[in-house]
Amino acid sequence: MEIAILSSGVLAFLVGIFLAIWVRKQDEGNEKMKKISHAIKEGAMAYLKRQHKTLIPIIAILALILNFAINWIAAITFIFGSFCSALAGFIGMNVTVRANVRVANKAKKGLKKALSLAVKGGSVTGLMVVGLGLSGVTALYLFFGKPEFLVGFGFGASLISLFMRVGGGIYTKAADVGADLVGKVEKGIPEDDPRNPAVIADQVGDNVGDCAGMAADVFESYVVTIIASMLLGISLGVKGIVYPLLICSVGIIASIIGIFSVKLGKDKNIWKALNKGIIIASVFSAIGFFVVTFYLFNSFNLFYASLTGIITTIVISWVTDYYTSREKNPVRQIALASKTGAGTNIITGLAVGMLSTLPSIIIICAAIFISYYFAGVYGISIAATGMLALSGIIVSIDSYGPITDNAGGIAEMSGLPKKVRKVTDALDAVGNTTKAVTKGFAIGSAALAALSVFSVFAETAGVSSFDLMQPSVLVGLFLGGALPFLFSSFCLSAVGRAAFSIIEEVRRQFKKIKGLLEGKARPEYARCVDISTKAALKELILPGILAIVSPLIVGFILGPEALGGLLAGAIITGLLLALFLANAGAAWDNAKKYIEAGVLGGKGSEAHKAAVIGDTVGDPCKDTAGPSLNPLIKVINMVSLLFAGLIAVYSLPVIL
Amino acid sequence: MEIAILSSGVLAFLVGIFLAIWVRKQDEGNEKMKKISHAIKEGAMAYLKRQHKTLIPIIAILALILNFAINWIAAITFIFGSFCSALAGFIGMNVTVRANVRVANKAKKGLKKALSLAVKGGSVTGLMVVGLGLSGVTALYLFFGKPEFLVGFGFGASLISLFMRVGGGIYTKAADVGADLVGKVEKGIPEDDPRNPAVIADQVGDNVGDCAGMAADVFESYVVTIIASMLLGISLGVKGIVYPLLICSVGIIASIIGIFSVKLGKDKNIWKALNKGIIIASVFSAIGFFVVTFYLFNSFNLFYASLTGIITTIVISWVTDYYTSREKNPVRQIALASKTGAGTNIITGLAVGMLSTLPSIIIICAAIFISYYFAGVYGISIAATGMLALSGIIVSIDSYGPITDNAGGIAEMSGLPKKVRKVTDALDAVGNTTKAVTKGFAIGSAALAALSVFSVFAETAGVSSFDLMQPSVLVGLFLGGALPFLFSSFCLSAVGRAAFSIIEEVRRQFKKIKGLLEGKARPEYARCVDISTKAALKELILPGILAIVSPLIVGFILGPEALGGLLAGAIITGLLLALFLANAGAAWDNAKKYIEAGVLGGKGSEAHKAAVIGDTVGDPCKDTAGPSLNPLIKVINMVSLLFAGLIAVYSLPVIL
């Protein structure tokens, strides 16, 4: 059976490679388009390469520490986990930066063909994530024979994810804010205008953040959840260990079917076409879960748990859509508040973001209760696995976003005819919805995944209960609760600092390069790309170290009970803050777009100016601070899990 | 000994009455000043009266429910608690709205005399809070002989406090935002200009929010902490029950000494003079705690716990000052970020607010650890009591704020000479520091107080442990964590709604009343006061009901373990959000004031405009949403405590 599971992972990988080759065969269009596309590709690849180069010494030092503190297996699996995560993002982004220009070119032949290409391009990332994730875990399990040896793999994936999210998030928003504040606001030139020196950096940022960043994020949740479920499944014997792998195997097949069933209908509704893929994948997954569960356990209890995961994915995406869609009341209220200025726009956005946390929390609580009712703590982790089994299709549809966003930018910059731009605009418009859906998915599954790891931690640390009446647990809970606030604060100010250096550079180029504003001279795109890269890499080290060190400090000085409190506290405020930041940010963005569609005075009105300020505030919230919280929670959980044994023996309260 | 304690409470009450009479004897100044002052007084009193009238039926229904569900004692003490809390705010505000004009008039005679009058006026509120608080609790204890019967008193105080904070907060900010957006932004007239129809409502709001609201808030923390400490002290016998009362008695004497030692030195440094009062009160308290503890217990362990409380007060005020003072780096960074627009101003403010939570959390954690180390769970509640024993002087110095703020407004509106306005401005400038210090104190002590109540709840509910590994506890923790977000969201949107109706009214008056802008006609102040009052009262019912009902729903449906989780979750995110909102708001406010002092282009510059938007966002954060979280946490704790017995027997999981 393990071989069958491994094969499904390899299958996903091979389908991904096949799609990648197919995408590369498509026509890139004219010289101008090629030039722009190559600039984006070079910038994105240069960023990833330099980021990985920066991380290699950190990974090496950590591997050494793991080797001496724990054992060589932890060190090796840790390196392997980092490598797989980085590889998934690398291959995926490699394709998105090639698919973008080809989609722009294909748009000449109409919406249907362009959509198909964009989805196939995005699928490469999705298939790499699940393919490398599942085959990596399964191969290690086959080799070592014990799920206990997989924790290092999960830690490697989490750490790469944290760095990708923080670094990529800072990169993308610094370039975006920098391009907008000087270009749109100061110089009055439109978005994606080739005269703007930061425009390539902005396009690079979309790939680095939304494609590579999201891929690493979901890869990590996927891997960590499988490992936690396997560990919790030990008490049920081999069946309990293999079951989560089997669920993911089913999810891979269902995702491939889903991906290939995305086709534009006669009504030309793009979101409906994408959504059809998700629903088909969900239905096939559910059927597969049913069969697999009955085959293994001769009982349906665990099927209900895994089904809870699928339903949670769907319901959370509805809630996210309600609070962030411009068709719905919350976004329209923010737009309306823009009439009385930026102040009221922002207050309303904060209120909407805060309110949006409650329904998601209730859904997650319901998922916890139902899955626990049917199958105990193992059930909770199986619900998380059921949710993440759909990662293949969800990440594919998410990666569709940066491809079409870039395609629009390339069409704009290379001056393609209006007809073509209408197609790319239509494709791009759906990107906001897919992004919001993926974010809800990523945050919800991350919370369930973290809870599963937390349960494993408790077992490993040998603590019988984490009693809220114990002051050490309470103190841990307080400190853990403050961590996500600290992290968000750090990400927000890092974007500010990095954006500031981009702003200075763009201003400098407009001043120094004669004829730039008139379109007679070319800006130095590469310098902006370079500055963004350096700024992001500089800002990425400190939060990474903080995430690794804080559970160790609390664990060794205050003891395992306090560390348990820290993990729980970080999960709770991390989940709440992530929902708040992501939804508020998306709502501000769409309120602006709603006004731009011609309501309340449209573009250029006072209301629009206020909404632009709201969007500027929301950008680092939704694309830097919010997304970095998922991996943060997971990193501190995995570090705690890895060192649980040591902390149980050597922590100060235990020694004293 | 109980009689001595009661006497100290009565003493505080009598000194307060004596000061109130003394304040009333001072000269009110000329007719114009009297007229303005009377308008403020009438508006403020009308608001309080109507609020209390609205609350009477709610109090009556709740008393009936308590009578049937628990017993008549709970109902009676509940009514008594509500009454004492309302009375403290009522008497206190009665004096501040009279002191304001007298301070403006006294300012003619120089800073020293004006400061002395402002402090004495503010002290009435401070002394009422501790006087009514301590004598109320002690009298009930003498009458019933058992601390178990005091919980209703605490619940009454908490509920009034929640209503005062939410209602007062909405009132004050709706009026403020409404006055500013039309007056300053649209019409270009200065702050406190008598032509602005909302100017009186704005002054009323300062009293309703900062004086009556803060008084009710601290009254509630004071009372609830004493009761929780008495309940936890039962295991130590009568000494354990009386000790917290004795500590507060010492605090009252020390506060009175502190109040009378505030005198302007030769360096004319106002904050130094006020701070001298706090330090003298702290030193006398510490000496008193030392004597009292040794006398009762012949050991110093509990002295260390109570001393921890005093030190926590002082250190938290330093931290608050660092993050919100315009002399320090965080505020200056926000000011600097205003140069690139409102967007960056707000992002930086959010980052500063989030960052500011960590040091406060660490201080509170340290306080928990130290006090627990010396005296267990009882020690934590004694640390909270030690902190709150200083309430007399802290509230006095806080109520100084609205008096001097109003005095400045009255001086401005009645056109007093520049020399006088310079004195009132100097007094008012310190108000921001005193407000920030009090807020840090209120939030910190509220967290420790809530933890004490939580411990009592655990004992009463008969739950041996709240284990984070239990899904019901986790689910409770998630739901409790979301509550403060829900509440903050509600408060922010309520301010938006209320401000909107004020804006419409002010615009209407400028349009309809001829010669208003030219100063030839008088605006209809009373209508704005009336609209603010109605809006605040309308918005206040729903959150109150929600706070009462949510612990009951979770307790009865999900069981006492989930309820414990809910309480812990609400304490943690409540504390974090309160710190974040209060500090971010104060930092935005001071960044604006820093620019207004002439830096970065000063008033009217682009940076200033951006900073004004930041301040508009911060206002409802720091004065409505943030402050309402303290009483929210306490109300759900007290409701849980009152119904703990019933929930332990009749909750669904117990029955099934």
Interface confidence (ipTM) of the complex: 0.93
Instruction: Give A70-111 as a DSSP string.
Output: T-HHHHHHHHHHHHHHHHHHHHHHHHHHHHHHHHHHHGGG-H
* B486 with A357: Cβ contact below 8 A: yes
Q: How many Å apart are CA A348 and CA A575, to the nearest integer? A: 21
Query: What angle is formed at CA B496 by the lines to CA B614 and CA A335, rounded to 5 degrees?
Result: 80
* Cβ(A215)–Cβ(A237) below 8 Å: no
Q: How many Å apart are CA B142 and CA A511, to the nearest integer? A: 80
Q: What is the mean pLDDT of residues B38-46?
A: 84
> Each residue of A188-224: pLDDT tens digit?
788 778 888 888 888 888 888 878 888 898 999 999 9
Q: How many Å apart are CA B578 and CA B562, to the nearest integer? A: 23
Task: Tell me the two tokens of residue B114.
Answer: 């004006």
Query: Which residues between 72 and 91 in chain B have a beta carbon less than 8 angstroms from any beta carbon of chain A?
Result: none
Q: How many Å apart are CA B79 and CA B72, to the nearest integer? A: 11
Rounded to the nearest 10 degrees, how much is the dihedral formed by the CA atoms of B297, B300, B303, B304? -150
Cβ atoms within 10 Å, residue B144: 14
* A486 with B351: Cβ contact below 8 A: no
> Each residue of A332-379: pLDDT tens digit?
999 999 988 899 999 999 999 999 999 999 999 999 999 999 999 999
- List the single residue in B181, B346, B486 with the smallest CB-CB distance to A617: B346
Task: Tell me the two tokens of residue B315.
Answer: 């250190």
- Chain B residue with CA closest to A368: the answer is B471
Q: How many Å apart are CA B265 and CA B247, to the nearest integer? A: 31
> Each residue of B362-421: pLDDT tens digit?
999 999 999 999 999 999 999 999 999 999 999 999 888 889 988 988 888 888 888 888
pLDDT at A602 over 90: no
Q: What is the mean pLDDT of residues B488-500?
A: 90
Is the minimum CB–CB distance between A375 and chain B shorter than 8 Å? no
What is the sign, positive or negative, of the torsion defined by CA atoms of A368, A372, A377, A383? negative
What is the sign, positive or negative, of the torsion defined by CA atoms of B152, B158, B164, B170? negative
Q: How many Å apart are CA B476 and CA B484, to the nearest integer? A: 13
Task: Tell me the two tokens of residue B436.
Answer: 């920030």
Is the minimum CB–CB distance between B358 and chain A shorter than 8 Å? yes
Q: How many Å apart are CA A198 and CA B511, to the nearest integer? A: 47
Question: What residues have CB less than 8 Å from B104, skipping those under 6 apart?
Answer: B29, B33, B407, B408, B410, B411, B414, B416, B420, B424
What is the residue-averaged pLDDT of chain A?
A: 90
Q: What is the mean pLDDT of residues B294-323?
A: 92
Q: What is the pLDDT of residue B30?
A: 87
> Each residue of B565-592: pLDDT tens digit?
999 999 999 999 999 999 999 999 999 9
With a pLDDT cut of 90, the percent of chain A lying above it is 53
* A481 with B361: Cβ contact below 8 A: yes
- List the single residue in B351, B372, B466 with the smallest CB-CB distance to A492: B351
Q: Residue B298, class by beta-carbon neighbours within 10 Å (0-12 exposed, 13-18 middle, 19+ buried)?
A: exposed
Is the minimum CB–CB distance between A493 and chain B shorter than 8 Å? yes
* B565 with A351: Cβ contact below 8 A: no
pLDDT at A302 over 90: yes
Amino acid letter, B141: Y
- The b/e string for B315-325 (b: 16+ C-beta within 10 A; e otherwise) is bbbebbbbbbb
Report helix, strand or coil for B414: coil
pLDDT at A655 over 80: no
Q: What are A467's strand-pairing partners?
A: B467
> Each residue of B234-290: pLDDT tens digit?
989 899 999 999 999 999 999 999 999 998 888 888 888 998 999 999 999 999 999
Q: What is the value of pTM for the model shown?
A: 0.94
Report helix, strand or coil for A544: helix
Task: Tell me the two tokens of residue B539.
Answer: 């918005």
Q: What is the mean pLDDT of residues B457-465?
A: 85
Q: What is the mean pLDDT of residues B468-492?
A: 94
Q: Which residues of A touch B499 (CB under 8 A)?
A: 344
Q: Which residues of A touch B357 (CB under 8 A)?
A: 482, 485-486
Q: How many Å apart are CA B148 and CA B140, to the nearest integer? A: 11
* Cβ(B477)–Cβ(B468) below 8 Å: yes
Rounded to the nearest 10 degrees, how much is the dihedral formed by the CA atoms of B555, B558, B562, B563? -10
Q: What are B467's strand-pairing partners?
A: A467
